[in-house]
Structure 1
Amino acid sequence: MSTKAAGPAPEVSALDLAALLCSRVCHDVISPVGAVVNGVEVLEDKDAADMREVALDLIAKSARQASARLQFTRLAFGAAGSVGARLDLGDAEQVVRGMIEDERTRVDWQLPRELLPKNRVKLLLNLVLLATTTIPRGGAIVVNPVGAGDAMGFRLVSTGVSARIPQGIEALIGGATPEGGLDAHVVQPYYAGMLARECAMAVGFVQDGDTVTLTAA
């Protein structure tokens, strides 16, 4: 992914940013929703009666997955309350586990259960998404606090085979844009950078072998 040199964040209209984030949400949920539709079609096919149990299992699994992704994106990208609202880190943990944990990826959540300013929690959720991109083959993500209270920062340590810092991600967080412009594939790290600046926090990556540490403080 080719990006311009990091510098002052370019102007992105509110309409364009909203459209790109909507596209990102749709991308996250379209696959499980499509699987639900496929399962329903199998149930409606009288010639596929032997596939009924498989279809029901597919529908149940995909519906749970779609629900988990919507709950996560509602907090990570949505309004999630009024301006100045505070969000519960316990709720953040719940949506992270529903979205991220599976047979390949485990989350070790070490944050206390308390209320933090909305944008700080939204940043945390977006950092979790960034952490998953550092371990493309799965692994473990440990989420730790840096400091305490309203000034709390976060340290996410991702460990897995073939761990790496995705190319261009640091520039995107810094406010640079790809040569072809922002699209739904890169808007999430760009948005995470916007949240970090809003919270007056700096985001950094360090790699050591199969471990990548992502810090926002």
Structure 2
Amino acid sequence: MAEIIELNATDLAAMLCSRVCHDLINPIGAIGNGLEVLADPNQTEMADGARDLIANAAKQSRAKLEFARLAYGASSTSGTDIDTRECERVARILFEIEKAALEWNAPLILLPKHKAKLFMNMLLIAATSVPRGGVVAATISGDAGQEKFEFTTRSDPEKRQRTLVPSGSAGLLAGIPDEGFVDARGIQPFYTGILARMTGMEINIGLENEVFFLTAIPKAKTAD
């Protein structure tokens, strides 16, 4: 059996930084393009379009930065728990720029910081399973300390939507990438797997009857 890949802290930080930069480069570039148009007196007829471009790009940038701050960063300098209300707030900002709709089924509880990060990173993977749109259901159940995370996604075939398991995600979550190595393109699901192992959670991912599922269950519970 292949061994789980271990990254040192420097490589992990570098790849996560690359991921954030990749997510932000297009909207930040669009803001710059829009400002150039507004500054050009010869393109006044394009001013309204430029303002719309800037507003949309700023919305995307904010959503991606809010997500990165919570899912990758320290999020807060005080405390070790994160309120699920903060998770929901960030999730709804993210889904304002996603094609899918969000169904949030989580109680108002405090989650240990790494568990909250795991939940948010699982949410992002679930969103990528319906790239053309659909519904993402995010659920937390179970007693404190034994929470179960469950994500399901559905698409609408009549709208030519498609539900899929994101390429390579199963191996990356398990820490055993299909290619035998991990790079910045796969670091987000790989990092999700790291968080699952840190928090003692067992992850399952797949597609059944055109419904994508991604779950995390405490390992002690799987042995019952």
TM-score by shorter chain over 0.5? yes
CA positional deviation for 1:11: 2.5
Alpha-carbon contact 1:101-1:107 (below 8 Å) kept: no
Worse-superposed segment, 159-168 or 173-182: 173-182
Aligned CA RMSD, in angstroms, stands at 1.7
How does the TM-score come out when normalised to structure 2?
0.89
CA positional deviation for 1:98: 1.1
Aligned match for 1:100, one of 95, 110, 117: 95
- The number of equivalent residue pairs is 212
CA positional deviation for 1:10: 2.1
**What percentage of aligned pairs have identical amino acids?**
40
Partner of 2:179: 179
Distance 2:71 2:98 in 1: 23
Which has the higher relative contact order, 1 or 2, with Cα contacts under 8 A spaced 6 or more apart? 1
Partner of 2:43: 48
- Map 1:43-122 to 2 at 5 A: 43-82=38-77, 85-102=80-97, 104-122=99-117
Q: Secondary structure at the match of 1:197?
A: helix
Alpha-carbon contact 1:36-1:62 (below 8 Å) kept: yes
Alpha-carbon contact 1:163-1:209 (below 8 Å) kept: no
Distance 1:201 1:83 in 2: 25
Partner of 2:193: 193
CA positional deviation for 1:39: 0.4
Q: Deviations over 1:49-107 (max 9, x none)?
A: 01111111111121121011101101000012359610111111111111123473100
Distance 1:163 1:100 in 2: 17
CA positional deviation for 1:143: 0.9
Q: Deviations over 1:148-177 (max 9, x none)?
A: 323212111110132111232111111113
Partner of 2:150: 155
Gaps of 5+ in 1: none
Alpha-carbon contact 1:120-1:195 (below 8 Å) kept: yes
